[in-house]
């Protein structure tokens, strides 16, 4: 398309048309992402140092009660990941709806945005493995966390670092996590990864390309866009990619920008039902979801385990609920929270090597001197604090990746005659 041509397409008209309400900056979405990153961090640190809270089969009655209560949502990292995906669908729609021309540059920019931090974080993880050894293995044995002991089961080599930080993270994914099943012959397990949370990046990347495709279709015609949305949503209904379609549709409807409804009963009910669905997913799933997952058909994307897909549905409902509650918007819009939430991606990447390296080593050291209980608490608290500090340092890498990505996308903008002012939209 030529930049000076009239905006006659469906999504272009949505982007250029003045909405029937005062436009607002949706900075509170950044806070949601930041809180979701904390959920992921807590899940992993609890699984490592307080495994009873995460693996209730071998836990005390108190830990089991917490695990089956709404409190467990505070460290429900899987639901948080699905919130990430839905937010990406929203934010990327806002960005791509005005930048769907020159898609090859958009793809390269996305690779840089995700790939550069992933690769450098993998290098950091390898360096910590050299400094502290695989302290997680012995720490996991002391703590009874077989999960912790199995991590970092990888060779420390240049090839493995590059492969894990680029090919695995962005394109292949991992065989024991949801993704593209047809790539399984070339995939490794997450236990062989330097940073296990990298499993989400390939889904993030392909989900980004899905949003780019939807915006490209919308530039052509509303009918084409609607057809692709329907077919895509049905095809991905039992996978994590459904979250991107949900985020895209929320963006098309301006859900985050519109004023919150005066009546809060329905959004509150949606948020509560979504949270409940996530909390009970480990012990109960409806029969229709189990049947949907096990249905052997090539016409639907290969399914996740039913508990994970239930968390995906629940996370979408929870997000829809809270973005329509004014009380939640007010809290999430507080400047201090928005500012600190900009560390979400660095924190997401950095907490893992901190946990397996220095935090595990600290536990082993204190366990010999002061006992297991004190060592657990110290490793947990110190590890979280160190992860936050490391994320602040790593934030410069994240900003650099955003800047390069913005320049690449700016090249596409300049050649098309379209200008994008809000660079915050380019952060994800």
Q: Are the C-beta atoms of residues 33 and 344 closer than 8 Å to each other?
A: yes
Is 11 among the domain residues? Answer: no
Q: Are the C-beta atoms of residues 347 and 391 closer than 8 Å to each other?
A: yes
Of the candidates 113, 55, 26, which has an alpha carbon nearest to the alpha carbon of residue 319?
A: 26
174 bridge partner residues: 188
Q: What tens digit of pLDDT does each residue of 162-181 get?
A: 999 999 999 999 988 877 76
Cα distance between residue 135 and residue 365, in whole Å: 10
Q: Are the C-beta atoms of residues 37 and 347 closer than 8 Å to each other?
A: yes
**Overall domain count for the chain:** 1
Is 154 among the domain residues? Answer: yes
Cα distance between residue 365 and residue 69, in whole Å: 34
Is 184 among the domain residues? Answer: yes
Parent domain of 287: 28-416
Three-state SS annotation for 255-307: CCCCCCCCCCHHHHHHHHHHHHHHHHCCCCCCHHHHHHHHCCCCCCCCCCCHH
Output the pTM of the full model. 0.92
Q: Are the C-beta atoms of residues 52 and 46 closer than 8 Å to each other?
A: no
Is 421 among the domain residues? Answer: no
Which residues of the chain, if any, have pLDDT below 50?
A: 1-8, 15-18, 22-23, 415-428
Is 180 among the domain residues? Answer: yes
Task: Give every CB contact of residue 258 below 8 A, 6+ residues apart in sequence.
Answer: 19, 21
| Placement of tokens 């994008």 in the chain | 420
Is 20 among the domain residues? Answer: no
Is 290 among the domain residues? Answer: yes
The pair phi, psi for residue 98, each rounded to 5°, is -110, 5
pLDDT at 63: 83
The tokens for 44 are 């992993």
Cα distance between residue 350 and residue 272, in whole Å: 31
Is 178 among the domain residues? Answer: yes
Of the candidates 120, 196, 147, which has an alpha carbon nearest to the alpha carbon of residue 48?
A: 147
| Placement of tokens 């002991």 in the chain | 149
Residue 309 to residues 81, 82, 160, 282, 286, Cα–Cα distance (Å): 12, 9, 31, 11, 11
């Amino acid at each position: 398309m030529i930049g000076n041509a009239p905006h006659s397409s469906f999504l272009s008209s949505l982007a250029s048309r003045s909405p029937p309400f005062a436009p607002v900056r949706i900075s509170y979405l950044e806070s949601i992402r930041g809180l979701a990153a904390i959920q992921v961090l807590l899940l992993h640190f609890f699984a490592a140092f307080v495994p009873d809270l995460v693996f209730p089969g071998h836990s005390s009655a108190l830990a089991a009660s917490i695990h089956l209560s709404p409190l467990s949502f505070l460290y429900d990292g899987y639901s948080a990941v699905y919130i990430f995906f839905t937010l990406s669908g929203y934010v990327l729609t806002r960005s791509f709806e005005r930048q769907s021309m020159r898609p090859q540059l958009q793809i390269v920019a996305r690779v840089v945005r995700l790939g550069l931090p992933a690769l450098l974080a993998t290098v950091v993880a390898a360096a910590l493995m050299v400094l502290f050894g695989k302290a997680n293995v012995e720490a996991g044995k002391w703590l009874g966390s077989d999960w912790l002991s199995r991590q970092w089961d990888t060779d420390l080599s240049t090839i493995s670092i590059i492969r894990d930080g680029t090919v695995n993270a962005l394109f292949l994914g991992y065989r024991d996590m949801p993704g593209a099943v047809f790539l399984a012959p070339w995939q490794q397990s997450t236990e062989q990864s330097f940073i296990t949370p990298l499993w989400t990046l390939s889904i993030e990347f392909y989900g980004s390309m899905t949003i780019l495709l939807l915006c490209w279709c919308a530039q052509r015609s509303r009918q084409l866009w609607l057809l692709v949305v329907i077919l895509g949503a049905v095809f991905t209904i039992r996978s994590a990619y459904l979250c991107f379609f949900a985020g895209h549709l929320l963006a098309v409807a301006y859900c985050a920008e519109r004023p919150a409804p005066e009546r809060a009963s329905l959004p509150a009910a949606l948020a509560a039902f979504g949270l409940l669905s996530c909390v009970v997913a480990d012990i109960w799933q409806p029969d229709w979801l189990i049947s949907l997952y096990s249905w052997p058909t090539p016409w639907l994307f290969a399914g996740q385990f039913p508990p994970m897909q239930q968390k995906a549905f629940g996370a979408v409902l929870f997000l829809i609920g809270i973005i329509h509650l004014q009380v939640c918007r007010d809290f999430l819009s507080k400047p201090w929270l928005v500012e600190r939430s900009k560390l979400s991606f660095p924190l997401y990447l950095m907490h893992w090597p901190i946990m397996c390296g220095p935090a595990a080593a600290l536990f082993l050291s204190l366990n010999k001197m002061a006992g297991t209980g004190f060592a657990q608490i110290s490793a947990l608290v110190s590890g979280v604090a160190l992860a936050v500090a490391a994320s602040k340092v790593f934030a410069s890498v994240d900003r650099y990746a955003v800047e390069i990505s913005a320049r690449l996308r700016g090249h596409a903008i300049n050649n098309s005659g379209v200008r994008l002012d809000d660079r915050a939209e380019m952060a994800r």
